[in-house]
Structure formats: structure tokens, C-alpha cells
Amino acid sequence: MGFFSTVFGLVGFGVGISSGLVIGYYLFVYFQTCDVKDPIVRRLVEHDSENLHGLLPEIPFWVKNPDYDRMDWLNRFIQVMWPYLDKAICKTAKNIASPIIAEQIPKYKIESVEFESLTLGSLPPTFQGMKVYLTEEKELIMEPFLKWAGNPNITVAVKAYGLKATVQVVDLQIFAQPRITLKPLVPSFPCFANIFVSLMEKPYVDFGLKLFGADLMSIPGLYRFVQELIKDQVANMYLWPNTLDVQILDPTKAMQKPVGILHVKVLRATKLRKKDLLGGSDPYVKLKLTESKAPSKKTAVKHNNLSPEWNEEFSIVVKDPETQALELIVYDWEKVGKHDKMGMNVVPLKELPTDEAKVMTLDLLKNMDPNDVQNDKVRGQIEVELTYKPFKEEDMPHNTENLGAVQKAPEGTPSGGGLLVVIVHEAQDVEGKHHTNPYVRINFKGEERKTKQLKKSRDPRWEEEFSFTLEEPPTKERMHVEVCSTSSRIGLLHPKETLGYVDIILADVVTNKRMNEKFHLIDSKNGRLLIELQWRAS
């Protein structure tokens, strides 16, 4: 008897609870509106102190911390732009989703899946502060604090077996602090090659998920579970040190690294036109690659000769064989005054075969304008032998992935030893008493190296690289680095001056493999010198 009543009781409870749930659903949940309303944002002045207390944890970082910057202007910008962004994003999302949906639904016997409404709401993402870090490396690091507490309304209606179910996402809130690193910096627009994004902390995610109008996220425990799940998923992918990499430029191209060498042999010229009034001309040839900053190369001057033979060889570094061209200009040397141009021609490098010598005979022209009538005149010809040798793949530095990484020492370095590479980047606030034309002199084990001299510059940038091959790691040595200046005028009282020096202990370099540090100069008021040292052990 007791047993039966218990069973009946349980069955009754089961029936009761299901009917209760259904009735309760219709009573309480069904008639709840599913519309998303704009939250009423009252002005702060109207808030009472109780509300203000609720506000305190959300105070933006720039108020609390001096190292964060305010970005309200950007917030205002986004706010005005938001309605347009909203429309554009939703439209794009729909366009992307609809073909995928159309492809997938036949598999699951679903009649249709469609967006009943799709809008990101009226509240734009906001930046609550921006922090930047300065390092000595060629990179920009910034950390914006992004908070999006929006009121989107994304309703997906699924129809299957004659029934319609709606899933609605409301009140999406995402707070994240991504670290955006732009590196390496390169001298061509947009001036950086890669963007790395990673999250410094697990993001905060919150939202309402309404199934048939009931917010599943309100079920105690479920919300926490889902939130943790999402956080972990995102964290697995993007939490520091994991990063999202976006390549903007091909760094090797952007850095304009040399990709090959062009060997030019200037053989001879024939039938040059006479320019001098008395005697023959004194021709010489000037060679230059277009779009290159390197100084042009010159052959010797052949005096009084209209069919000169030079047979001189030159090698020129090529950075982009697709666009660069070799420019040959024949000049007439003059003792006094300007050297006259006798003719010129241009050979685009892409027309050359690789690794193969090619002898070319070129007509000399006045200029490269094909329509200029003056080019019809015969100015003679020039004969050159051209060989373009691109660097082999293995010669190319494979440091696209991590430019900060130290390369291996080249072959031929004694075992146990290695290559010490010194890169002189720049100096700041160097000032001489009489002149400031700074260059850097490096003294190491009796060897002396110099950078080129920069004229009248208090903040010179050299970006020059030197290397020393060593028998053994320089654990006990020091390197003497000195910034010097010489007067541009000759024979004055102060021909040379030291702007400051620093002695670098190299043991640290050997243990760290790479150091990029700003040294304060000794015997200088406020001078600093940025030097990078690398130890490439074999």
C-alpha cells in the first residue's frame, strides 16, 4: 500500500511538474517580451549615491592609472559611426551565413533557418583606456582596454517538422584587453609588416541565450559553466603567449633586403658623338640602379677617345629585380664645368636571364622618352656584359618568423668560437663643443671599425652592422665604443672631438646571445647610444 502510494505520488509528481512547468512557462515566461529595448542612459549628474557605488568597479583605467590614456574621442567617433557599422556588419554576416545555411539544412531535415532579426544594438564598443609600451626593439606595442556591453538582438528561427523554434542572443557583453604588437617596422607604408594580437587576461563574456523565450543562462550554474567554457576556448587560442598573427606586408620585401647581385662588365663604346670643340671627347660611364639610394659607379675616363674600351667590372646589389633597372649614362669628362651627357640607356632587370652572362649592345639615346625626336640622332653604341645572380634560397636569411632571433654563425667559424655582431642603431643628445658631425668608432681586440659620418646631427641614426669572427667566446673582453666628431672645415683648432664613449662588457652578450640596449655615454652630458650585440656561436 505504502509502496503504491509512493509510486503514484511519484507519477503524479512527474505529471504535475510537467504540466506545472508548461503552465508556469505560459504564465510567466511566454508573455515576457523578447524585444530588446534601448537601455535608458541617464546622465551621471542625475545618479544618486547608491547608483554611483554600482558604477565604481567600472571606472575606466585612465582615471585610475596614470599610464593609461583617455580615448574618449575615439569612443565618440565610434559612437557616431556605430549605426553604419552595425548595418554593414549585419549585412555582411547575413551574406556570409546564408549560403552556408542553405548548404547545410538538407542534411538535417530542417525546413529553414533564418535570421528573424539581426542587429548589434545601439550601444557601441568603448575603449576604457589605452596603454603603450616603449621598447628598444623595432616594434609598437599597445594595449587598449575594450569593453563592449551591447544590446544586440540576434534571433535565429529554425523550422523543422512543422515546428518553429527561436534562439535569441541578447545582451552580449565582452570585456577584453588585447595586446596589439606591430612589428617589425619597415620603411614602406603602412610601415609595419605584421600585426600580433594576443589577450593578456581571460576575457569576460556574458550574454543571455533565450530558447523559446526562456533565458537558459539564468539557470543557476549553467551560466558559470558556459562562461568558463568560452573563456577556456578563447584562452587556448589567444591568451598570451599565444597570438593571432596577421601579415600585412611580406617582410623581406618590405625591408628591401638584397635579393641578388648584378655583375656588370662595361666593355666598350663605339662611334660616340663628338662633344668637345677641340679634340675628341673624354668619355666615361656612370652606372646606377633605379630606385636605389646607393651611389652610382663610374668607369675610368678615356681621354680623347670616341671608341673607348673599358673592360671594367662592377657588382651592384639588387633589391627588387621586378621593378629595378640598370641605368647607363655616358658622360664627357671636362676639366672645368659640368660634364656633358653623351647618351644613355636603361636595361630593366626583368629582361635579364638569371645566372647567365648576356652581352648587350645598346644604342645611346638623349633621354628615355620614345617620342622625342632628338633620339633619332645617332649617338653611338655601348656594349656591356650583364649577369644577374639571385641569391640562393639558403643564403637568404630565414628570419621572417622571428626577427629578434639570433642567426646561426656562418660556416667556417672556428669551433668553440663564433661571430660577434655589433649593430649600431642610433644615438641621442650627443653634442660636441665645437661641432657635431658624429660617427661611431668601435675598438675591439685591436681592431677598429667606423660607421659613416653624419653631418650636424644631435640624434644620428646609423643602422650599421659590423661583425668580428672570434676563436672563443669573449667572456673577459670589453668593447670600447666611442662617438666621435670631426670638423667639416680643414685646419681649424678643433679638428676632432670625442662626444662620449662606453665600455661594454661582453660576457653578458655571450650568455644572453642577444642584447639591445641603450647605453649612457661617459664624458657626455646626456648622450645615449643604442647598440645591439649578438653572439652567434658556431
Partner 1 sequence: MGLISGMFMGFLFGIALMAGLREMMRYRGRKRITKAADIKLLSSLNRDDLIKICGENLPEWISFPVFEQVKWMNKQLNKIWPFVADAAEAVIKESVEPLLEEYRPPGITSLKFSKLSLGTVAPKIEGIRVQSLKQGQIIMDIDLRWGGDPDISLAVEAALVASIPIQLKDLQVFTVVRAIFQLADEIPCISAVVIALLAEPKPRIDYTLKAVGGSLTAIPGLSDMIDDTVNSIITDMLQWPHRIVVPIGGIPVDTSELELKPVGKVTVTVMKANELKNKELIGKSDPYVVVYVRPLFKVKTKVIENNLNPVWNQTFELIAEDKETQSLIVEVFDEDIGQDKRLGIAKLPLAELEADTAKENELRLLPSLDMLKIKDKKDRGTVTIQVSYHEFNKEEQLAALEDEKKTLEARKKLKEDGVIGSTMDALDDAASIVGSGVGMVGAGIGTGVGLVGSGLGAGAGIVGSGFGAVGSGLTKAGKFMGFGGSKRSGSTTPVNSIQENEGAKPLQT
State which of positions 2-21 bind partner 1 (CB under 8 A): 4-21
When binding is defined by CB under 8 A, the residue of 91, 445, 480, 518 that contacts partner 1 is: 91
Separation of alpha carbons 268 and 9, rounded Å: 113
From the number of C-beta atoms within 10 Å of its C-beta (0-12, 13-18, 19+), residue 464 rates as middle
Q: At closest approach, how far in Å is the CB of 220 from partner 1? A: 7
Q: CB 3 → partner 1: shortest distance, Å?
A: 10
Contacting range for partner 1; rule: CB under 8 A; set: 156-164, 187-195, 315-323, 484-492:
187-195
- CB 174 to partner 1: min, Å: 11
> Which of the residues 377 through 436 are near partner 1 (CB under 8 A)?
none
Residue in 113, 120, 130, 533 binding partner 1, rule: CB under 8 A: 130
Least gap, CB of 13 to partner 1 (angstroms): 4
DSSP symbol at 111: -
Site for partner 1 in 60-89 (CB under 8 A): 60, 62-64, 66, 69-70, 72-77, 79-81, 84-85, 87-89
Which residue, 220 or 412, is less far from partner 1 as judged by CB? 220
How near is the Cβ of 17 to partner 1 at its closest, in Å? 4
DSSP string, 453-500: --SS-SS-EEEEEEEEEESS--SS-EEEEEEEEE-SSTT-S--EEEEE
Does residue 123 belong to the site contacting partner 1 (CB under 8 A)? yes
Please list every residue from 449 through 468 that binds partner 1, using CB under 8 A: 457, 459, 461
Q: How far is the CB of 70 from partner 1 (least distance, A)?
A: 6
3-state SS track over 370-432: CCCHHHHCCCCEEEEEEEEEECCHHHCCCCCCCCCCCCCCCCCCCCCCEEEEEEEEEEECCCC
Residues in Cβ contact with 348 at an 8 Å cutoff, skipping those fewer than 6 apart: 324, 325
Residue 149 vs 360, nearer CB to partner 1: 149
Q: Considering the complex, what minimum distance in angstroms separates the CB of residue 199 from partner 1?
A: 19
* Contact stretch for partner 1 (CB under 8 A) within 23-31, 308-316, 401-409, 495-503: 23-31
Question: What is the distance between the alpha carbons of residues 158 and 164, in angstroms, rounded to a whole number?
Answer: 6
Minimum distance from CB of 99 to partner 1 (Å)? 18
Q: Which of 131, 268, 275, 389 binds partner 1 (CB under 8 A)?
A: 131
Report the residue number, 334 or 459, with the smaller CB distance to partner 1: 459
Nearer to partner 1, 156 or 185 (CB): 185
| Distance separating alpha carbons of residues 465 and 417, to the nearest angstrom | 19
**DSSP string covering 5-32:** HHHHHHHHHHHHHHHHHHHHIIIIITTS
C-alpha cell at 60: 575606466
Query: Between 199 and 238, how does the x/- string for binding to partner 1 read (CB under 8 A)?
Result: -------x-x-----xx-xxxx--x---------------
CA angle, residues 54, 56, 60, in degrees to nearest 5: 130
Q: Which amino acid is at 457?
A: S
Q: Which residue, 19 or 475, has its beta carbon nearer to partner 1? A: 19
Whether omega before 241 lies within 30 degrees of 0, making that bond cis, reads: yes
Total chain residues near partner 1 (CB under 8 A): 99
Q: How far apart are CA 382 and CA 362, in angstroms?
A: 5
| C-alpha 448: how far from chain center | 35
For the chain, what percentages of helix, strand and coil (3-state, to nearest 5) are there? 25, 40, 40
Please report, as residue ranges, which positions from 269 to 328 form the binding site for partner 1 (by CB under 8 A): none
Q: Which of 113, 118, 120, 150 binds partner 1 (CB under 8 A)?
A: 150
Tell me how far, at minimum, the Cβ of 147 lies from partner 1, in Å.
5
Q: How far apart, in whole angstroms, are the C-alpha atoms of residue 82 and residue 70?
A: 20
AA identity, residue 316: I
∠ CA 472-474-478, rounded to 5°: 155
- Given candidates 128, 281, 324, 534, which one binds partner 1 under the rule CB under 8 A? 128
* Shortest CB 448 distance to partner 1, Å: 27
Give φ, ψ of 535 to 5 degrees.
-115, 110
**Member of 118, 120, 154, 186 binding partner 1 (CB under 8 A):** 186
161 binds partner 1 (CB under 8 A): no
104, 188, 475, 526: which one contacts partner 1 (CB under 8 A)? 188
Cell triple for residue 308? 673607348
For the bound state, the minimum distance from the C-beta of residue 30 to partner 1, rounded and expressed in Å, comes to 10
For 217-275, the three-class secondary structure string (H helix, E strand, C coil) is HHCCCHHHHHHHHHHHHHHHHHECCCCEEEECCCHHHHCCCCCEEEEEEEEEEECCCCC
Between 54 and 295, CB nearer to partner 1:
54
CB of 81 to partner 1, least distance (A): 6
At closest approach, how far in Å is the CB of 187 from partner 1? 3
Alpha carbons 201 and 212: distance in angstroms, whole number: 34
Residue list 27-56, contact with partner 1 (CB under 8 A) = 27-29, 32, 39-45, 47, 52, 54-56
CB 177 within 8 A of CB 240: no
One of 157, 158, 191, 226 touching partner 1 (CB under 8 A): 191
**The one among 34, 101, 105, 142 contacting partner 1 by CB under 8 A:** 142
418 DSSP β-pair partners: 470, 537
Can you tell me which of 105, 140, 195, 406 binds partner 1, judged by CB under 8 A?
A: 140
